[in-house]
Amino acid sequence: MSTMEEIAEKAGVSQATVSRVINGHSGVSERKRKLVMEWARKLDYQPNRTAQSLKNNKSNLIGLIISDISNPYFAEIVHAVEKEAAKNGYNIILCNTENNIQKEKESINTLRSRQVEGILIVPSDKSAPHLKSIKKLNLPFVVITQISDLFASVAVDHAKGGEMVVKHLSDLGHTKIGYIGPLKYAGYTEDKFEGYKSGLKKSNLEFNSEYIIETDGGMPELSSQNAYKKVNQFLNQANSSLATAYFAYNDLAAFEAIKAFEDHNYKVPEDIAIAGFDNTSLAQINRPGLTTISQPIKTIGHVGLNMLFDKINKNKDDENIILEPQLIVRESTLKYRRS
């Protein structure tokens, strides 16, 4: 790896001049600046970012903590954040906690040791004690995909999304509408489940616990992974009360449910309508195409990151931004039109 000393020797200037050029300081003639930059390129000079960060107290690093990178929804969040960070001259250090609170604690400590300027996080439990202790640290922190009482945050209105799904299914004529997913998340009643119940009420439909297929595991991503198992168990019960339409917690759970129903000879959408939540790339690629609630993934990433930059630059206090969901209707809730 080349050094400033080598560049200075080749360019015939002092090391101080090379340092001023590399670090963007003024006081160097245009001729010398071009000469230094030409030799820096020829020698493939790479600045020591660690040394610069210690000197300037600025690492240009952002920590991003995700609960489950295997979920396409979160993978798309990462992509959006990484692209926006690069535009602003920042790099991302990604941590995947697999919804494990201990791994989340370790990830936060690791990121702090790497001198990140701030952290974006999808927390495993937004009220966990270790998050409360972070409030005492001078570390910019923003929660994404969930609304937080502790930190600045950005998320879609999950309850409203649940209401929109139920209204769509009711408008199609369904009166027996079920729910597949967790009923609680980190000790709180799940917002999507609350939206489901509210949607039933607004559509003048009775809530029937027999139409609920509760997934376990506690965490949403784990719940989506065992949706097939739970739907299969439900269908194997002789006295199962089957709804004609189901709202699944997220897209992955919806596809797991479709697989289970079809393994029991129920066709989707001809026999049972299924809707999901997230509008991941899988929702339009798989067949049948999945009716789902679209979360503006790029917007969540961009808004969350810009909120973090504002906190880094001490421009704003904490705020919660709630984005509007959008219903995307595809074949999984509509019978195929045959010509």
Evaluate whether residue 338 is within a structural domain: no
Evaluate whether residue 53 is within a structural domain: no
Q: What is the pTM of this model?
A: 0.75
Predicted local confidence at residue 259, as pLDDT = 93
Which structural domain range is residue 224 located in? 158-295+327-333
Dist CA 297 CA 141 (whole Å): 19
Predicted local confidence at residue 338, as pLDDT = 37
Predicted local confidence at residue 337, as pLDDT = 41
- Higher pLDDT, residue 23 or 309: 309
Q: Is the pLDDT of residue 221 over 80?
A: no
| Domains in the chain, number | 3
Mean pLDDT for the stretch of residues 110-138: 84
**Whether residues 174 and 260 fall in one domain:** yes
Predicted local confidence at residue 206, as pLDDT = 92
For residue 19, what is the domain's CATH number? Answer: 1.10.260.40
Dist CA 107 CA 189 (whole Å): 27
Evaluate whether residue 54 is within a structural domain: no
Predicted local confidence at residue 186, as pLDDT = 58
Q: Is the pLDDT of residue 219 over 90?
A: no
Mean pLDDT for the stretch of residues 64-87: 86
Q: Where are the beta strands (DSSP E) in the chain?
A: 61-66, 91-96, 118-121, 141-144, 152-156, 177-181, 184-185, 188-189, 212-214, 245-248, 273-278, 291-294, 320-323, 326-328
Predicted local confidence at residue 284, as pLDDT = 84
Evaluate whether residue 225 is within a structural domain: yes
Evaluate whether residue 64 is within a structural domain: yes
Dist CA 248 CA 24 (whole Å): 54
**Whether residues 127 and 199 fall in one domain:** no
Q: How crowded is residue 212: how many other Cβ atoms within 10 Å of its Cβ?
A: 19
- Indicate the burial class of 138 (C-beta count within 10 angstroms; 0-12, 13-18, 19 or more): exposed
